[in-house]
Amino acid sequence: MAGELRNLRNQKKKIVFTNGVFDILHRGHVDYLRKAKSLGDILVVGMNTDSSVKKIKGPHRPIQNQNDRAVILASLKSVDFVIFFDESTPDNLIHFVKPDVLVKGADYKLEQIAGADFVKSYGGKVKRIKLTSGRSTSKILAKL
């Protein structure tokens, strides 16, 4: 992966990074990832491993295992790379990727976004994207 990122940088490609659980993929996710991709050339998605999801969301999550979630995410036209991370935040992964643009949902305040200070320290941008109203995994699970 490091070599691929280096090659993309040499080609002057703008690398965008976002992260999440992406357990039950829905329209809100698709809209969000499409908007994130529009901010650059390459979209790298950091995806929580199953063990990190359990720590964040509780013992009954994720619904789908990490390999299935990764295959589904990688099949989207807007997603170029999916990389697992096992920590509570994607800080280490953000340091590894060193994106030109770091993206999170607008439901996060700037100071809550992991890696924001690091990305800004080298001139990268941090963007917050408005989420699609009424679309969430929690709502889907409640309906089920």
Catalytic residue (choose from 13, 14, 54, 57): 57
- The type of residue at 68 is D
How many CA atoms, within 13 angstroms, populate the side-chain half-sphere of residue 107? 7
Which residue type, as a one-letter code, is found at position 139? K
For the residues of 35-74, what is the DSSP string, one character each?
HHHTTSSEEEEEEE-HHHHHHHH-TT--SS-HHHHHHHHH
Q: Which of 55, 98, 125, 127 is catalytic?
A: 55
Could you give the residue ranges of the DSSP H alpha helices within the chain? 2-10, 27-37, 50-57, 66-74, 91-97, 116-121, 137-143
CB 131 within 8 A of CB 107: yes
Active site residue 57: yes
In the residue annotation, 13 being an active-site residue is answered as no
Catalytic residues, by residue number, are: 55, 57
